[in-house]
Amino acid sequence: MSSHRQKLVLLPPNRVWRTYPGGRTLERLAGKPDPQDSNFAEDWIGSLTESKIPGREHLREGVSQVVVGDVTRDFRQLIDSDPEYFLGADHIAKHGRSLMLLVKFLDSAIRLHFQCHPSREFARRVLNSPSGKTEAYHILAVRPEVPAPYIYMGFQHPPEPAQLKRWIETQDVAAMERCFEKIPVQPGDTFLIPGGFPHALGEGVLMVEIQEPTDFAVRYEFERAGYVLPQPARFMGRDVDFGLSMMDFNRYPLDVIDRTLRGRPRRVRALGPNSWQDQLLGPDQTPCFRVLKTHLREPVEKAESGCFIAIVTAGACTIETAGERRQLRQYDKYFSPAGLGPVRLIPEPACELLECYPPA
């Protein structure tokens, strides 16, 4: 039997440079003695996607190094060594050897740039890419000094395209901000941000971002925290009209956002007398990925038909597979191969797992 079979693929930190500061909470969780914010504000989890930051193209940032047994492997090379075991035959038939998923920890020190990502349809039509960048936010924690955490998503007061173009060209950030109303967030909240939606994450939020596996972004605010975006990083190497062409200018009142784009837990599976699995986002809201949460209150046996990335969001647990036994604590994460088979989950004494799946 191959040495990687019947084992979890553990996902150690994979910090990636971004154009905004953050990461202090990630430093604290890693046990660093003097946690500080820096531009390494994200941890790309089980990533096969390369970061695309102009000026850093010579660095291979983004693709994860992973641990199987006690051996560190390049995640891309590991999957290529046994693709059907890791991804599943059905997945490969539809998507090839792409995981079709990118998961991140994102830890913001400031409000992020006003930005927009292409939809899958736009990406296929214009960018010759099978994936755009529809994404979802699952809020984990908020910095104690932030009294009212929030996100912006979708225009509540949409401008005319020509008006927004003028504001971008003159960098009238106050006018751009007036197009939005703050959406309050708290730990446990989940929101879907479709491709084409203008948006920004507020300051002081630690979250899991689940998204299509690209680094496509149009940023129409050019300076944050003293860093000025180089021209190629603003509109993906193109011009402002390209950036505007992917944007959804419809009006989305807050009640519509709450009703249609908030992930509400729906129980899909009982795992034991006091343990269950909820769906947070499913195919009825997006075809791009699925997000579930497993709640454990007693030892259970559990099997899934496909691969997924899991994060311990509360508590701790021991996971027994046919090939090993692993203890996991809060914010540990792992990739579960499609061919792993049943596992036994033993909470200590309770545990929650956020499970992120590629398209069905």
Q: Does residue 176 sit in the same domain as residue 226? A: yes
- Which of these three, 243, 260, 277, is where a domain ends? 260
Q: Is residue 152 part of a domain?
A: yes
Domain identity same for 68 and 189: yes
218 pLDDT higher than 90: yes
354's tokens:
């956020």
Domain assignment present for 230: yes
Mean pLDDT of 202-208: 98
Average pLDDT over residues 180-198: 98
pLDDT band, very low/low/confident/very high, at 1 (cuts 50, 70, 90) = very low
Quote the CA–CA distance of 205 and 222 in Å, as a whole number: 21
Mean pLDDT for the chain overall: 96
CATH number for the domain spanning 306: value is 2.60.120.10
Residue 309 CA to residue 358 CA, distance in Å, equals 9
Mean pLDDT within 119-144? 97
- Per the structure, the complete domain to which residue 323 belongs is given by 266-357
Instruction: For residues 119 and 138, give the distance between their C-alpha atoms in angstroms, rounded to a whole number.
Output: 20
pLDDT at 3: 84
The pLDDT-based confidence of 54 (bands split at 50, 70, 90) is confident
On whether the CB atoms of residues 89 and 72 are closer than 8 A, the answer is no
CA atoms within 13 A on the CB side of 354: 28
Residues 250 and 313 in one domain: no
pTM: 0.96
Lowest mean pLDDT among 42-56, 234-248, 301-315, 318-332: 42-56
pLDDT at 80 over 90: yes
User: In this prediction, what percent of the chain has a pLDDT beyond 70?
Assistant: 99
pLDDT of residue 55: 75
Q: What is the total count of domains within the chain?
A: 2
Residues 64 and 203 in one domain: yes
Q: Indicate the pLDDT class of residue 2, thresholds 50, 70 and 90.
A: low
What is the 8-class DSSP label of residue 127?
Answer: I
Q: Tens of pLDDT along 266-275?
A: 999 999 999 9
- Do 198 and 84 touch, CB atoms closer than 8 A? no
303 and 188 co-located in one domain: no
